[in-house]
Amino acid sequence: MLERIQGLPDNVFGIEATGEVTGADYEAVLIPAVEEAIVRQNNLRFLYHLGDKFSGFDAKAICDDAKIGLQYLNAWERVAVVTDVAWIHTAVKVFGFAIPGQVRVFGNSNLQEAISWLST
């Protein structure tokens, strides 16, 4: 499940993942959030929080994640992935170079630091 994170700085949009994230979640929540942010500001500053209640992605969500990343490839200014899931830390570090903007991974205890980094 994906939910928008409220109360972030105006130049940042965020999504929190809980349970298993599906392709339907991407289509109902993440893709519209990205499209709305593109209209508001040309450059995306995105907080993706995969906290303690996150359990994984289905195959469609992984495919949709790659598609949305490529569709707006030059719009990603800063992306902060906040999680304690080791394989996500590794994946972001391995594949983060493919995004033209800056990508950083933070642990769950550093959520506020991630928000500060995104907003400055």
Q: Where are the alpha helices (DSSP H) in 3-85?
A: 23-25, 31-40, 59-71
Domains of the chain (ranges; CATH) run 2-119 (3.40.50.10600)
Residues for the chain: how many in total? 120
Residue 70 has pLDDT above 90, yes or no: no
Q: What pLDDT band is residue 11 in, cutting at 50, 70 and 90?
A: very high
Question: In this structure, is the dihedral angle defined by the CA atoms of residues 13, 118, 45 and 112, taken in order, positive or negative?
Answer: negative
Percent of the chain's residues with pLDDT above 70: 100
Question: In this structure, is the dihedral angle defined by the CA atoms of residues 100, 44, 50 and 26, taken in order, positive or negative?
Answer: negative
Residue 100 has pLDDT above 90, yes or no: no
In angstroms, the CA 72 to CA 44 distance is 9
- Please give the structure tokens belonging to residue 45: 């500053």
Can you give the pLDDT at residue 78? 96
